[in-house]
Amino acid sequence: MEKRKVIIDTDPGIDDTYAIVAALSYKGFDVLGITVVAGNVGLDNCVVNALGVVNLMNADCFVYPGAQTSLNQLDNFETYDLKTSVHGEGGLGSVTLTPDFSKRSETHAVDFILETVKENPGEVEIITLGPLTNIALAIRKDKETMKKVKKIWSMGGGVRFGNRTPVAEFNYWADPEAAKETYALGEDIEINMIGLDVTQQTRFTLDDLFFLQTECGELGALLSEMSNHYTKIYWDSLRITGVVVHDLVAVMLAIDPSLSNEDDIFNRVNLSIEHEGMCRGQTVVQLSPNGMYEDAGPKNANVYMGIDNTAFRKAFIKLCFPKAYPMYIKYIL
Ligand code: RIB
Ligand code: CA
């Protein structure tokens, strides 16, 4: 089977790390490069974290630094109060990875994306795990080339609720103009929105984290340790025991969309993004399959609204820790 050509755009980030590990573990992906955008923490920190994951996985792809501020420059991600980041000051909870600086490219993320798509028209899938600034900058620089992207899988948005505000999810809230300009391309290319409605249906339980810690080697222990930073936040904010690994859901669905029932995938619907005011970053989606709403515009997105959580957890363990999988099935599930 020919490998799928993939670029990962990310702001690592604890859940980004799970997602990158899964994407690099999947034999059906040829991860051509990892482009970085500021988001969870500042750009430099995100780049170091991405270099750490590439080193941890002994991956042969390069890391391409990208945008460190949102499109309209109003929110310089570097100025985020890092101590309040959900992902901790360094972006990976209490974990520090060893970066392989030899894998840091001097090519800007936007130029890498455009060059790669130009060389592989109609073949490159982009999985976005952070704010969409790099994608929007690429569209602004060369829209015709970006129309040759095969598809985009984007962790972001939320139809029924938000997490950065009551109505907006962090990635699209952080740079709503970029999200708006990205989805404007949705009439020309397939964009799959993997929002909170689906990610928050998944849960790695405390038993899952214990299993990662004790039965999945150094990699599992690192992922579990990173997540420990999260558990208190999820309990305090949502009374959830365990963690929601949002970005991993986007990668696992890109690998296998059948983790979602067909009737939980709303294909070719209209999605618009509020980009200012109290509802900044809100994704307004015309989900009605029967056109109940006034048809508000172009069909520019496929929106995932559900997933089989047990199948998702099993697929991740089977992909990344196959030797431990039988024990996981027997004692944890
Ligand atoms: O809202 C969840 C998203 O925001 C994830 O990508 C997480 O890494 C944060 O960036
Ligand atoms: Ca992220």
| Ligand of minimum distance to the alpha carbon of 196 | 1
Comparing 75-84, 114-123, 191-200, 294-303, the range with the smallest average pLDDT is: 75-84
Ligand 1 environment, Cβ below 6 A: 11, 13, 15-16, 39-40, 129-130, 155, 163, 169-171, 246-247
Domain boundaries defined on the chain? 4-331
11 given a catalytic annotation: yes
* CA 1/CA 4 separation, integer angstroms: 9
Q: If one looks up domain 4-331 in CATH, what number appears?
A: 3.90.245.10
Per-residue HEC secondary structure of 55-86 comes to HHCCCCCCEEECCCECCCCCCEHHHCCHHHCC
Q: How far is the CA of 111 from the centre of ligand 1 (A)?
A: 24
In which residue are the tokens 């930073």 written?
229
Q: At what angle do helices 206-215 and 217-238 cross, to 10 degrees?
A: 160
**What is the pTM assigned to this prediction?**
0.96
| CB-based contacts of 333, cutoff 8 Å, min separation 6 | 310, 313, 314
Give 98-154 pLDDT, tens digit per residue.
999 999 999 999 999 999 999 999 999 999 999 999 999 999 999 999 999 999 999
Give 121-131 pLDDT, tens digit per residue.
999 999 999 99
Look at residue 87 and give its three-state secondary structure. Answer: coil
* CA 103/CA 97 separation, integer angstroms: 14
Give the residue from 57, 4, 22, 5 showing the smallest Cα distance to 259: 22
Give 213-269 pLDDT, tens digit per residue.
999 999 999 999 999 888 988 999 899 999 999 999 999 999 999 999 999 999 999
Catalytic: which of 9, 11, 15, 111? 11
Q: How far is the CA of 292 from the centre of ligand 2 (A)?
A: 33
Helices vs. strands in the chain: H and E counts, helices first: 13, 10
Nearest atom of ligand 1 to the alpha carbon of 196: 1
Give the residue from 248, 230, 196, 171 showing the smallest Cα distance to 16: 248
Contact 229, 88 (CB under 8 A): yes
Residue 78 confidence (pLDDT)? 61
175 given a catalytic annotation: no
Residue 328 confidence (pLDDT)? 98
